[in-house]
Homo-oligomer: A and B are copies of this chain.
Amino acid sequence: MNFDLTSFLPYLLNQAAEAASLDFQREYKARYGMLRTEWRVLFHLGRYGDMSARDIVERAMIHKTKVSRAVAALEGRRFLTRKSVEEDRRREVLSLTPAGREAFSELTALAEKHDVALMQGVSAEDAAVVRRVLRGIAGL
């Protein structure tokens, strides 16, 4: 029997994902008391502009209850505001406040540095292969 755990892809992916997130997570947790979902919501708004919770759910593939709670937390920290939409009063458009935008750009800079560090020692070609395959698996 030759089936090794370290070649089982779901396992490998999980371990790698955990290892890769650890340092960065520590950072946004310590500096902003932020949870992963909160950072992701912040990122989506910062990077792709104002949108509703539903849009974030779809784009980020995060469950709506998680998004709902993340939005509430970010609102509490004054990182974003809501504005209910005229045409459809079920929806609310979310926008980052100046403080939210600042946190976003600080964290983005950190993320970029982090990303480079992770791929140091990996050739550009290999890195490209990895990203392409992962995108495929993730369905992106």
Which A residues are within 8 Å of any B CB, using their own CB? 1, 3-21, 24, 40, 43-44, 47, 60-61, 108, 111-112, 114-115, 118-119, 121-122, 126-127, 129-140
Contact = CB atoms under 8 A, between A and B. Distances in A.
A138 B15 contact: yes
A129 B33 CA distance: 36
A24 B13 CA distance: 13
Contacts of A44: 5
Nearest to A13: B17
A9 B5 contact: no
A13 B3 CA distance: 22
Nearest to A47: B5
A117 to B, nearest CB: 10
Contact of A6 (B6, B21, B127, B140): B140
Nearest to A119: B9
A16 B138 contact: yes
A121 B43 CA distance: 31
